[in-house]
Amino acid sequence: MFSASRYERPRRGRAQAAGSTPPRSAAPPVPRTDGPPAPAPAFAAEPPPERGWRRWVWLATFGLVKLGPSATQRQEAEDVAVIRTALHGNYKVGVLGKGGVGKTSVAATVGSLFAELRRQDHVVAIDADTAFGRLSSRIDPASTASFWELTADKNLRSFGDVVGRLGRNSAGLYVLGGEPASGPRRVLDSAIYREAALRLDRHFTISVIDCGSTMDAPVTQEVLRDLDALIVVSSPWADGASAAARTMEWLADQGLTTLLQNTIVVLNDSDGHADKRTRSLLAREFIDHGQPVVEVPFDPHLRPGGVIDVRREMAPATRRKFLQATAIVARYFAARPDRTRERRPRGEGR
């Protein structure tokens, strides 16, 4: 289907596509907890069933018969609980993918879900795509904030000072834009990215970085050496999956084995024309290399290029898949040893 024979990663057992029940050895590390275990998710306050035979029974009995949560509801509650796991310090996840696979949509959605479900923390999305990235347009189109405004003002000390240079959406996700769409071009470089990241690290628990499509670009290299997790986005077609496999191969060649262990593949059907059989075969290719895979269905809400609303406009099936992906990333975060973030010297932290 595609050549992925060269890249290898330490295997934690055979992974499975998200949505199925993986063997315990293949799941991402279980988050640590402080103090007594958290109680199991409560379903008593769940609203009436919205669809299916459970809703029919509820209506037919005038609400007297209350069936338990479905497997889908239980999985969603589990994912939400994992996303809300207590974290100490700050954490970064990068999003990589070739142009046209929906990389920016994935970054905006994962960031929005973290922000929505972790109200006690601050979450920021960062546009590190040097080819006129469009992350701001998916989060807060009115924002004119960019790296240059954030790094130019040396008096930004408090959280309020910093967020005055950022955009924000209804889920509570902040965004730092990249190159402006109009006006003189200002090319992002490693030094400016590093300075901006240091400032944001003081105030934000989670950063979601939308990377460029060129892996060996200096800015992308700077991003990769300071990540705790990585999302590789692929189309559900052989050419897209081949590009994703090359990304894995490149990470292995660079010695980024720890990051490769904390990488998830998102097969994103961005146009609605995916062939189910092809998609399943591609997922199996990555699964056989030990990578968790989440298959995101086509959602017209993500296609036009406007603001992504994960609460009111995203299809329930799409949201569930993104919850699964976000929960996997949260597990990777929680498995990291507790430490305050220190910038890693080049060649270390791999």
The total number of residues written for the chain in this structure: 350
CA 199 – CA 183 distance, rounded (Å): 25
199 with 162: CB under 8 angstroms?
yes
Q: With residue 233 as reference, give the H or E element that holds it.
A: strand 229-234
- To which residue do tokens 């692929």 refer? 234
Q: Compute how many other C-beta atoms are within 10 angstroms of the C-beta atom of residue 180.
A: 16
Tokens of 331: 């597990």
| Single-letter amino acid, residue 44 | A
pLDDT digits (tens, 9 = 90+) for 52-65: 666 766 677 766 65
3-state secondary structure of 82: helix
pLDDT at 264: 98
Q: What is the CATH number of domain 72-337?
A: 3.40.50.300
Q: Compute how many other C-beta atoms are within 10 angstroms of the C-beta atom of residue 312.
A: 7
pLDDT at 348: 43
Residue-by-residue DSSP string for 114-177: HHHH-TTS-EEEEEE-TTT--HHHHH-TT---BHHHHHH-TT--SHHHHHTTSEE-TTS-EEEB
Give 267's strand partners. Answer: 234, 295
Tokens of 109: 């959605």
pLDDT at 36: 47
90 with 126: CB under 8 angstroms?
no
266 with 296: CB under 8 angstroms?
yes
pLDDT at 59: 73
107 with 232: CB under 8 angstroms?
no
CA 95 – CA 36 distance, rounded (Å): 34
| Single-letter amino acid, residue 261 | Q
Tokens of 171: 């889920």
pLDDT digits (tens, 9 = 90+) for 1-19: 565 555 655 454 444 455 4
Using CA atoms, how far residue 83 sits from 119, 294, 324, in Å, is 11, 16, 9
Q: What is the pTM of this model?
A: 0.83
pLDDT at 23: 41
- To which residue do tokens 């290299």 refer? 221
- Enumerate the H helices of the chain as residue ranges: 52-60, 71-83, 103-117, 135-139, 147-152, 159-163, 190-201, 218-224, 238-253, 257-261, 276-288, 316-335
9 with 264: CB under 8 angstroms?
no
Ranges of the chain with pLDDT below 50: 10, 12-16, 19-27, 31-33, 35-38, 43-44, 345-350
